[in-house]
Amino acid sequence: MAKVTVSTLAKMKREHNKITALTAYDASFAKLFDDNGVDVVLVGDSLGMVLQGADDTLAVTNADIAYHTRCVRAGSKELFVVADMPFMTYANPTQACENAAELMRAGANMVKLEGGEWLLDSIRALTQQGIPVCGHLGLTPQSVHVFGGFKIQGRGDNQAERMIADAKALENAGAQLLVVECIPASLAKRISQALTIPVIGIGAGKDTDGQILVMHDLVGISAGYIPKFSKNFLAETGNMPDAVKKYCQDVKSGAFPTSEHEFN
């Protein structure tokens, strides 16, 4: 598979070629994903829940993400690797640059931050220092206690308009990718159409520029419950390589997600 870059992803959006993404935390799965058609992997702070067994992502440290980023990069030199910046590691531009630098040195191609307008100064600082940025709007897990749980976001008109404005502001500040999570499919479509950068959805319907799932959900082994927006591709295919291939094929063709995996 050819090396994926930010230019690759931008071209995929322009050509209406869906982007496939999964979370990854180690070398073996990174290689598996690279070999079977995945474009982007996210070293997510979701590791706090699926690997460490916590109820949320808040205890994950920058050192945790850096360690797993090194593992993922060792498994593939070609994959585009996005590394999550954990809770309270980017409270101001200086802190954001210092912690992002550690993740880039570990092998990330881009860092991901959760939030809207308050992040603009940090995004400008990061991009000025040569660090590509992915934004994250909607259900931002690091704000779970503010939301009162893992709840759908953007359902009201005011919330929706605020999210569209935030998305445009993130792009204008220099973000080159955006993840939208657990928002109405109609809102995700509006955001995707409003931006020139790629928008990757999770629980956001089929009209985004790509899809991402937590790898444990893809194979039906997540502790606790499987979210409505996920699908167990392993149950359908019977082995890991075919599960990943089927996921990529279904995202590319538009067969996944369907209406049963989205919110209205």
181 is catalytic: yes
Annotated catalytic residue, options 117, 181, 260, 262: 181
Q: Is 112 annotated as a binding residue?
A: yes
Q: Is 15 annotated as a binding residue?
A: no
- Please report, for residues 151, 159, 183, 226, 237, the alpha-carbon distance to residue 154 in angstroms, rounded to integers and kept in the order given: 10, 5, 6, 22, 34
Q: Under a CB-based contact definition with an 8 Å cutoff, are residues 109 and 61 in contact?
A: no
**φ, ψ for residue 141, nearest 5 deg:** -60, -25
- CB atoms under 10 Å from CB of 157, counted, come to 8
107-136 burial: b if 16+ Cβ within 10 Å, else e: bbbbbbbbbbeebbebbbbbeeeebbbbbb
Q: Is 114 annotated as a binding residue?
A: yes
As a whole number of angstroms, the distance between CA 152 and CA 162 comes to 15
The amino acid present at 77, given as its one-letter code, is K
- Please report, for residues 21, 75, 161, the alpha-carbon distance to residue 251 in angstroms, rounded to integers and kept in the order given: 10, 23, 27
Q: Is 228 annotated as a binding residue?
A: no
Q: Is 78 annotated as a binding residue?
A: no
Annotated binding site: 45-46, 84, 112, 114
Annotated binding site for 3-methyl-2-oxobutanoate: 45-46, 84, 112
| Catalytic residue list | 181
Annotated binding site for Mg(2+): 45, 84, 114
